[in-house]
Structure 1
Amino acid sequence: MASQTLNAILVVGPTGSIGKVLCQSLISRKSEFKRIAFFNDTSRPETEEKRALFDTFRNGGMEQVSGQYKDTEPFVGFDCVLMPLGNHAIKFQPTIIDSAITAGVRHFYTSEWGADLSVGSNWTQRYYRDKVFTREHLEKRGHDTDTPDLGWTYIQLGRLTEWSIIKHFGIDNTNYVANIYGTPEGRQSLLPTKDAVAYTMKTLKHPFSTANNGHRRTYRFHGSSPTWNEIFNDLEAITGHKYTVTYHDVETAVEKEARAKRLNDVELELEASHQLIQGRGGTLLPEPFDNALFPDIHPEPVHSVFERVFKDPETRKFIGAP
């Protein structure tokens, strides 16, 4: 069976940290594709910031398609949908998938760009619940008699380097205080956003066939796997401030998660769930890695990423730095 690549790309979730970089990368390489577009979800409110961002995308050569996730028409004419959606939008992926399949789409990049769901207790963690539902939905649709050519790509990298030092994950860069569930020697796999997107772009043009499930792919891209000690050494060297770090028994997050459920506090529940994932080593990416498939990409070291993040006003705000 002949190999194929993905040539008509629609980004659903273009305003997030990964979505914006994906759109910018598609624009920079638009000559390699037949069609590139972003999805404007009309159920969400318009903001000046979003209008300005969409203007930038259109001026760069992207097409805007508008509608709601249950609509079929916006998905017509695309062979691949990228879904870099945030925590609260991931639950809509099965609806997006069904609408897009009806429109003729046959390949999906779901909201992975993170840890391996098969590691440790990840599959049963609340933080990944909607990602699991999405995978199960794809598997089910992939067994339907009318969609044997349905394919998907999972990009796994551990965690985005820039995200590893935000308050949600226990680090207060304003007061130089941290509360970490785990130990100083606990490791996590990190890859910068720009490199995660660079690898993603390569996979779009990586040939595959529908024979032997070749259209159902998982890639693991690794940057580095520093310990918490190494991360805080880097932060202290960059900021010139000593961080006061408290390490907590991982399993105490179980009660925190249960309390969040009783309070119906979704944000706290997600936070506690991720603390369990992080402390149990769930963000450590298992080998084998697929970096060698694309040897021209050289992931930026962690220290360099942190330096860059602290220098840029926008990313400083993102990590809560003064």
Structure 2
Amino acid sequence: MAPSVLIIGASGNFGRPLVDEFIKNLSKFSKVGILTASSPLKFDEQKSRGIQVVAGSLLDPASYRGFDIVISLAGNSIMRLQPAMIEAAVIAGVTHFYPSEFGSDVGIEALREFRYFRDKRVTRDHLVATAKKNSDFKYTLLITGPFTEWAVDALYGVDKDTKTVNAIARYTVESTLLPLKPGQQKREIRVVGESTTFQGLVDALGEVEGVKYKSIYWLTKDALVEQEKAQRAEDEERVLYWSVRTLGASGNAVIGGPSDNDKFGFTPETARETFQRVYGKH
């Protein structure tokens, strides 16, 4: 039977291209839904294209009823709610959960104390505990490294507008159709485009645009001082901002180990190809 998928966070920067990719592949699923705690009217366009819109609480089992797979795209503001979301989903009969990973491997030792990923690590621990209690429960960690388009975002100090993340959306949709091995509950999927330095990304962007970006270097210790100031001020948004600013310079954003690219039906773009698609002249 074709799987059914419910998406949380469909209006975000990754949610929009992901929903579009599911719409392209609707015939492969029994249904695809969007869960929204706010007005469902903002998803009228997606509804007209075959997406089911569910209006309800992220913490109410009724919101998840009738779906096999849940894909969470929870952002910083609700990341800590994911364990409770998992509990509600399991009560409703969901058997497969994708937590909001889609980036660096938060499980490596070097990131154990990294503040920005704290709630993602807590979610991983909860998934492990849930799988031990429920033999039919499965979860997938989709580990991609930083999105190329977002690596040149103002968050990392690059003065540039960004757009979509098409390749990761394709990986996510195709992964829901990949069977797990009998008895397998945890699945890690590692997909990698191009590994390069942050300066290499900026240089590739400049080549595509025909401009030269000026690099101004911050010391990691200075960013950590700002993070500590924000912590003392109980400003969580700024704590996370300064925490993630140090990730690119640490080298810990790069995905190690063998990739699973060969499981998918397309070849990932290089950084230059991505910038050409998003920022190049058409």
Matches within 5 A, 1:69-148: 69-144=58-133, 147-148=134-135
Q: Which amino acid aligns with 2:138?
A: G
**Which runs of 5 or more structure 1 residues have no equivalent in the other structure?**
175-191, 313-322
Alpha-carbon separation, structure 2, partners of 1:155 and 1:58: 27
What is the one-letter code of the residue matched to 2:169? Answer: V
1:28 corresponds in structure 2 to: 24
Q: For 1:225 and 1:60, how far apart are their aligned partners in 2?
A: 36
Q: Structure 1 residues 139 and 120 mapped into 2: Cα distance closer, same or farther (>3 Å)? A: closer
| Alignment check: 8 A CA contact 2:103 2:147 kept | yes
Please give the secondary structure, in 1, of the residue aligned with 2:246.
helix
Select between 302-311 and 259-268 the one with higher mean Cα deviation.
Answer: 302-311
Deviates more, 1:254-263 or 1:98-107: 254-263
Letter aligned with residue 174 of structure 2:
K
The CA deviation string for residues 194-236 of structure 1, in whole angstroms up to 9 with x for no partner, is 111111122111111452xx23100100000122332222232
- 8 Å Cα contact 2:208-2:280 kept in structure 1: no
Q: Is 1:195 the equivalent of 2:167?
A: yes
Counterpart amino acid of residue 200 in structure 1:
T
Partner of 1:245: 215
Change (3 A) 1:96 1:282: same
Q: 1:143 to 1:106 in 2, by over 3 A?
A: same
CA distance in 2, matches of 1:209, 1:87: 32
The alignment's C-alpha RMSD in Å is: 2.0
1:309 deviates by 2.5
Aligned counterpart in structure 2 of residue 216 of structure 1, from 186, 190, 195: 186
Structure number with the bigger relative contact order (C-alpha 8 A, sep ≥ 6) is 1
3-state secondary structure, aligned to 1:143: helix
Q: Counterparts of 2:36 and 2:219 in 1: how far apart (Å)? A: 43
In structure 1, the partner of 2:50 is 61
What TM-score comes out, normalization by structure 2 length?
A: 0.92
Query: Which stretch shows the higher mean deviation, 120-129 or 162-171?
Result: 120-129
For residues 110 and 271 of structure 1, the distance between their equivalents in structure 2, rounded to whole angstroms, comes to 21
CA–CA separation in structure 2 for the residues paired with 1:101 and 1:140? 12
Structure-to-structure mapping, 1:12-51, within 5 angstroms? 12-42=8-38, 46=39, 51=41
Aligned-pair identity (%): 29
SS of the residue 1:251 aligns to: helix
Give 3-state SS (helix, strand or coil) of 1:112's partner: coil
Aligned equivalents of 2:103 and 2:70: distance in 1? 18
Distance 2:273 2:37 in 1: 35
Q: 1:61-109 CA distances to partner (integer Å, 9 max, x unpaired)?
A: 1111111112111211111100012121211111211111111111100
| Alpha-carbon displacement from aligned partner over 1:128-177 (angstroms, at most 9, x marks no partner) | 11111111111122222xx1221100100111111000111121239xxx
The CA distance in 2 between the partners of 1:172 and 1:120, in whole Å, is 32
The number of residue pairs the alignment matches comes to 279
Q: Which residue of 1 aligns with 2:275?
A: 306
SS in structure 1 opposite 2:217?
Answer: strand
Which AA in structure 1 matches 2:149?
Answer: E
Among 147, 150, 161, the residue aligned to 2:148: 161
* 8 Å Cα contact 1:6/1:79 also seen in 2: no
Q: Which residue of structure 2 aligns with residue 178 of structure 1? A: none
Equivalents in 1 of 2:82, 2:178: separation in Å? 24
Q: Deviations over 1:232-285 (max 9, x none)?
A: 222322333332212233233222211110122222211221133222111111
Return the alpha-carbon distance in structure 1 between the equivalents of residues 2 and 222 of structure 2: 45
2:236 pairs with 1:266: yes
Letter of the aligned partner of 1:106 in structure 2? Answer: T
Q: Which runs of 5+ in 2 are unaligned?
A: none
Code of the residue aligned with 1:35 in structure 2: it is K
